[in-house]
Amino acid sequence: MKFFWMKKTHLIRCLLCWLVVAGLLAACVKEVKLPIRQVQPVLVVDGLITDEPPPYLVKLSFTNPFQSGQAVNVRLDPVNGALVTVSDDEGLTVRQEQDPFTPTYYFLRDSTFRGRVGRQYTLTVRLDDGTEYVSSPEVMAPVAPIERVYAQYLQRPSGATVPDAYQVYVDTRDPATPGNYYRWSGYGYVPRPSTGGPFGCCSRCWVPFYGSLSVVLSDARVNGNRITRQPVVTSPVYTFGRQYLDVKQYR
């Protein structure tokens, strides 16, 4: 009888555990709607001028209010019909034209205009309702040269959903003057297996890839020292073969 009692107790405990688990699984999920501050759309400006030949681009968009269930990367509405100009401290002003195929972008394609180190540049955006935004003048600072570009092969574990890749790094040296900020970008073309054209003449094709635009660094902790093993871009490996990469360093 004693053995039977212990077995029954164990059975009762198991039943209780299953009842608790079943109760948790059966519990409903209730959406909680928090009060969200509704604000007017905000103009978002993202632009760049370098000492390389144009084109230079400026991205203009409006923010949208957040709604429950919406993805984190909130959709941005393009700004149509804006007057976008860039001026330097020598009195030269050029206009950027809106791209008809990607209306979020305004391009400066004037070949006679080129950024120069030491010059100050001001961006002006005038919307079609007359609202005007003017940036503070920014001086184009010289950029330290990239000392070295190299890569490390990253082998993914078996069953991974992403391919193997090359992690590309750069080495450079920060000037002794404090208050420098850096940004790196990278893009390239990599080979990828292909079924070929209509006659099956090709076994692979070249596909572009783009790195993140948010690879930035302040020299607050490295002022005047070397910057080593700075990650810039991760280049996917779909098949064996050469890869062509373009790595840029901004300051």
Give 67-78 pLDDT, tens digit per residue. 555 555 555 678
**Is residue 151, in this structure, part of any structural domain at all?**
yes
Identify whether residues 169 and 240 lie together within a single domain. yes
**Is residue 180, in this structure, part of any structural domain at all?**
yes
Identify whether residues 222 and 151 lie together within a single domain. yes
Identify whether residues 166 and 225 lie together within a single domain. yes
> Model confidence over 121-150: pLDDT tens digits?
999 999 999 999 999 999 999 999 999 999
At residue 56, the pLDDT reads 92
C-alpha span between 196 and 219 (Å, rounded): 48
Q: Which residues contact 63 (CB under 8 A, 6 or more apart)?
A: 41, 42, 44, 74, 76
Identify whether residues 151 and 233 lie together within a single domain. yes
Across the chain, mean pLDDT equals: 83
**Is residue 182, in this structure, part of any structural domain at all?**
yes
The dihedral through the CA atoms of 226, 242, 183, 141 has a sign that is positive
Identify whether residues 116 and 150 lie together within a single domain. no
Identify whether residues 156 and 205 lie together within a single domain. yes
Residue ending a domain, among 91, 113, 139, is 139
> Model confidence over 151-205: pLDDT tens digits?
999 999 988 899 999 999 999 999 999 999 999 999 999 999 887 655 555 677 8
> Are 121 and 115 a contacting pair, CB within 8 Å?
yes
Identify whether residues 132 and 155 lie together within a single domain. no
**Is residue 234, in this structure, part of any structural domain at all?**
yes
**Is residue 167, in this structure, part of any structural domain at all?**
yes
Residue ending a domain, among 94, 111, 139, is 139
**Is residue 51, in this structure, part of any structural domain at all?**
yes
Looking at the chain, the whole-number percentage of residues with pLDDT higher than 90 is 57
Identify whether residues 103 and 161 lie together within a single domain. no
Identify whether residues 130 and 204 lie together within a single domain. no
Q: Domain range spanning residue 173? A: 146-250
**Is residue 125, in this structure, part of any structural domain at all?**
yes
> Are 187 and 246 a contacting pair, CB within 8 Å?
yes
CATH number at residue 57: 2.60.40
> Are 57 and 48 a contacting pair, CB within 8 Å?
yes
Domain count, the chain: 2
Q: According to the 3-state scheme, what is the secondary structure of the chain?
A: CHHHHHHHHHHHHHHHHHHHHHHHHHCCCCCCCCCCCCCCCCEEEEECCCCCCCCEEEEEEECCCCCCCCCCCCCCEECCCCEEEEEECCCCEEEEEECCCCCCEEEECCCCCCCCCCCEEEEEEECCCCCEEECCCEECCCCCCEEEEEEEEECCCCCCCCCEEEEEEEEEECCCCCCCEEEEEEEEEEEEECCCCCCCCCCEEEEEEECCCCEEEECCCCCCCEEEEEEEEEEEECCCCCCEEEEEEEC
Residue ending a domain, among 82, 112, 139, is 139
> Model confidence over 28-72: pLDDT tens digits?
677 777 666 667 788 999 988 999 999 999 999 988 766 555 555
The yes-or-no verdict on residue 2 having pLDDT over 60 is: no
What is the distance, to the nearest Å, from the Cα of residue 244 to the centroid of all Cα atoms in its chain? Answer: 20
Identify whether residues 156 and 195 lie together within a single domain. yes
What is the distance, to the nearest Å, from the Cα of residue 31 to the centroid of all Cα atoms in its chain? Answer: 31
Identify whether residues 227 and 151 lie together within a single domain. yes
**Is residue 60, in this structure, part of any structural domain at all?**
yes
Identify whether residues 128 and 159 lie together within a single domain. no
